[in-house]
Amino acid sequence: MDFDFQLDLEEVARSLETSEVVAIYFPFLRKTLLIDARSSAVDPPMAKVVEMVATPEERFQSVRELRPRFPRPESLVLIPWPKYVESLVRLKIWERVVARFVNLGFPETVRQCEACYEELVGLEKEEMRRALAGENYRSLWESASGGWEGPDGEIDADEA
């Protein structure tokens, strides 16, 4: 999963520092880290793990439902993250997420961010466990008889 996907880390960092709403989505987990930096006297900024959506318009709608007292965001950045959750820390993206709320003076949102990170790590571990156990996954090579087919389509008797 953490293959050599090219990410423009400077662009990701710039988006995290300047965009009103950032959605970092994890295709393997089918989850999104939704970060909304907007605040008011009533509503602090928000960090939340939510379900992935199919379109940007659906994401705008979900932000509207989660933050009904705010108008449609002026900027919404969608960032696919095809890497392990831990790579956010290793690549120094996570510190940019947290720094934004530290700099804005919202310690509760910093705590939300940390809870989101822990949730994502837990979801990733559970999904890896499921993949290894074959839960909700099918092998491409498993035959109907339960044995393994070789490249020629023959079932390897030693494996069957």
Q: Note if the pTM is more than 0.85.
A: no
pLDDT, tens only, 91-111: 999 999 999 999 989 999 999
The larger pLDDT score, comparing residue 155 to residue 72, is at 72
Q: Which long-range contacts (CB under 8 A, 24 or more apart) does 89-98 make?
A: 91/7, 91/9, 92/9, 93/9, 93/12, 93/13, 93/16, 96/12, 96/13, 96/16, 96/17, 97/16, 97/35, 97/47
Q: What is the DSSP letter of 125?
A: H
Q: From the CA atom positions of the chain, what is the Rg in Å?
A: 20
CB atoms < 10 A from the CB of 39, how many?
Answer: 16
* Residue 115 pLDDT > 50: yes
